[in-house]
Amino acid sequence: MTTNPTPPRGRPPTAPEAAPRPSRYLRIEEVAQRLGIGRSTAYRHIQAGRIPSIRIGGSVRVPERALDAWEAAATRQPTLR
């Protein structure tokens, strides 16, 4: 018979770790739509290295997490005067 072990005294039980969100790879059209820019402009940003990307076979993809981080870094916060 299997019983659940109790945690050592003085230490609260730990919650199971949440599984990391699987990475999704966006097509250039999805990146352009999300940023509100044209497809050619998205390609130019990728070629210039401004938007992180990877190649999968002959296709260019942008990891969604990388785009999230890029957007966060590129977003300007309003300054209070």
C-alpha distances (whole Å) from 44 to each of 11, 22, 50, 70 are 53, 27, 9, 15
pLDDT at 4: 60
Question: Residue 30: what pLDDT?
Answer: 96
Name the stretches of the chain with pLDDT < 50.
none
How many angstroms separate the CA atoms of 79 and 81, rounded?
6
pTM of the model: 0.65
Tokens representing 29 are 């059209």
Tell me the sheet residues that pair with 59: 56
pLDDT value at residue 22? 63
25-74 CATH fold: Arc Repressor Mutant, subunit A (1.10.10)
